[in-house]
Amino acid sequence: MFKIPRKFSSIGAKLFICFWLIIILTISITRLVSEQFRTKSFIIPTHHSDVAKVERIKQKLTLTPVDTTEKLLSTLSRKPGRELLLKNTNTNEVLASDKWQIASLQTFLTENNLDNLTTIKFEFYRMTGPVNVDVAGTPYQIYLATIDRKRLPGNIIQRIPTWLRLAIPIFISSILLWLLTRSFTKPLIAMQKAAASFGDGEFNARIPLIAQRNDEIGACAASFNLMAEKLAQNIGSHQRLMADVSHELRSPMTRLQIALGLAQQNNISEALLHKHLQRCELEIARLDEMISSVLSLSRLENTISQLELMAVDLKQLLILCIEDAQYMANEKSINIHFDYQGTALLQADPNLLSSALNNILVNAINYSHKNHQVTVNLTKTSTSFIIEIIDTGTGVPIEDLPKLFEPFYRVAQARDRATGGTGLGMAIAKQAIVAHNGIISAQNNNQNGLTVIIELPIAISKNNTHEI
């Protein structure tokens, strides 16, 4: 089977060839139709100069008769731009020179009979006649054809050779079509190169100039830039997560190896062996918790959250989360205070939202001082609910507040084991809130502690959930 060369299968070549063929077809059809309807000759006011010339020719023939048509045709002086035509009124035969421009005049005289002096305009000549003469007993009519010096633009074009008349529009249309196809294919080639570069690992590949176009190609480029930005963020988050996981796993793995090494020593007492095995069990539990948290965070960050939306009473959900957290708070003699009158209905995924609230409550309890209080406030606006979880800990340095929701972030590395956390709880909470089109932030309060503020929209649609 015939295979089209690659250079002709590109969209640029296809556009160029298709448009070029359309232009040629349009020109050809227009030319054909115009030829069918174009008036090839028409009567104009009698040209007095031509009439005088014809009368002089008649007078000359009267004074000096001729016996052949060849002599008669030669009576007209050989001046450029003038031709003499003889029509035999018996046979309608028309005699003239062999110039191709005269052919249309000969055809006209063959098909038509004129009796009065008339001037007729043709494409290249104007013809005046007839004047009746006899040549060797045969009646003839004399017509004078003169090139019209007042040429119309159309006539000038008609004098150009046919091949040149075709070549000029083809050449001009080819240039214009090349510019048009280039305006289409250049941004597409740029997008293809950017996509290839992105696929090769250049995650900063963008096409900002093309995205500024106000057409479908510009919209496509803007969508590509947005897609590339989101992919770069996801890949960057994944890479940072992997780096953080590698770093965070090193400490419990090292302690686990040390505990195993001590437990394998010879002549070790049973009490000491039991202590080392308990340490191994503790580190394994921490590893399990960390891996579980990492999987949860990775699932939230790198997939589109499949929310199971339903009508949820946020007040009752908070009460359930507070009751669960109160068991932990009792160990530090901390009371969790919450008071809200009425219902607080919104569209949400109760499991995902309760996970976020539990993480924030556990974090508040871990960093609050003993015998203090954690306060939970709930307020309603016209479009959203605002939750404030206020602890009485030591707060967070202002410069570290934006980092609070990053994976494995801890304000003080020395406190990480004391609180028993993995540094992933706040990051998981953020992703869960973002999945609900919500906003989460943190600020220090006047009790020297930290206040976490969550804003959740009352109504949410699955089609409007964030990609997280």
pLDDT in tens, 70-128: 877 776 655 677 888 889 988 888 888 777 668 888 888 888 888 888 888 887 788 88
Residues 6 or more apart whose CB falls under 8 angstroms from that of 195 comprise: 205, 224
In DSSP terms, 129 is beta-bridged to 118
| Rounded Cα gap, residues 197 and 153, in angstroms | 55
User: What pLDDT band is residue 374 in, cutting at 50, 70 and 90?
Assistant: very high
- Per the document, the length of the chain is 468
Of residues 88 and 416, more confidence is placed in 88
Q: Please, which residues bridge with residue 94 across strands?
A: 87
What is the mean pLDDT of the segment spanning 397-403?
A: 83
Distance from C-alpha of 264 to C-alpha of 252, rounded to nearest angstrom:
18
- Of 163-172, 411-420, 424-433, which range is least confident? 411-420
Domains of the chain as residue ranges with CATH: 42-159 (3.30.450.210), 216-300 (1.10.287), 308-464 (3.30.565.10)
What pLDDT sits at residue 1?
45
| Share of residues in the chain with pLDDT > 90 (%) | 11
Q: In what order do the strands lie in the sheet with 42-44?
A: 42-44, 118-121, 125-135, 138-147, 82-88, 94-95
32-41, 208-217, 307-316 — most confident range: 307-316
- Tell me what the pLDDT averaged over the chain comes to: 79
For residue 254, give the 3-state DSSP assignment: helix
Residue 441's pLDDT is what?
92
Tell me: pLDDT of 459 over 60: yes
Q: What is the mean pLDDT of residues 36-59?
A: 77
- Three-class SS of residue 265? coil
Give the pLDDT confidence score for residue 298 in this predicted structure. Answer: 64
**CA 188 to CA 207: how far, in whole Å?**
10
Kindly tell me if the per-residue pLDDT of 377 is higher than 90: yes
* Residue 441 in tokens: 């932030």
pLDDT value of residue 75: 64
Model pLDDT for residues 171-196, shown as the tens digit of each residue: 887 787 778 777 777 888 888 888 88
- What 208-213 contacts at long range (C-beta under 8 Å, 24+ apart), as own/partner pairs, is 213/187
Q: How confident is the model at residue 150 (pLDDT cuts 50, 70, 90)?
A: low
Say whether pLDDT at 269 is over 50.
yes
Q: What is the pLDDT of residue 158?
A: 58
What are the DSSP calls for 299-359, one per residue?
HHHHS------EEEEHHHHHHHHHHHHHHHHHTTT-EEEE---S--EEEE-HHHHHHHHHH
Task: Tell me which amino acid residue 69 is.
Answer: T
* β-pairing verdict for 373-380 and 335-338: parallel
Give pTM, 2 decimals: 0.48
pLDDT at 418: 46
pLDDT in tens, 349-372: 888 888 889 889 988 998 888 899
* Other Cβ atoms within 10 Å of 273 Cβ, number: 14
At residue 414, does pLDDT exceed 50? Answer: no
Q: How far is it, in rounded angstroms, from Cα 449 to Cα 389?
A: 10
Note the pLDDT of residue 27. 73
What whole-number distance in Å separates Cα of residue 293 and Cα of residue 428?
8
Residue 131, SS3 per DSSP: strand
Tell whether the model's pLDDT for residue 131 goes beyond 70. Answer: yes
Span 59-70, mean pLDDT? 81
pLDDT of residue 336: 93
What is the reported pLDDT for 319?
A: 92
Distance, CA of 228 to CA of 199 (rounded, Å) = 10
Do 357 and 321 touch, CB atoms closer than 8 A?
yes
Query: What is the mean predicted confidence (pLDDT) over 279-306?
Result: 70
Residue 11's pLDDT is what? 66
- Partner residues linked to 85 by β-bridges: 143
Residue 8 has pLDDT above 60, yes or no: no
Q: Which two tokens stand for residue 335?
A: 């009371």
Note the pLDDT of residue 218.
82
Q: How many CA atoms lie within 13 A of 28 on its CB side?
A: 7
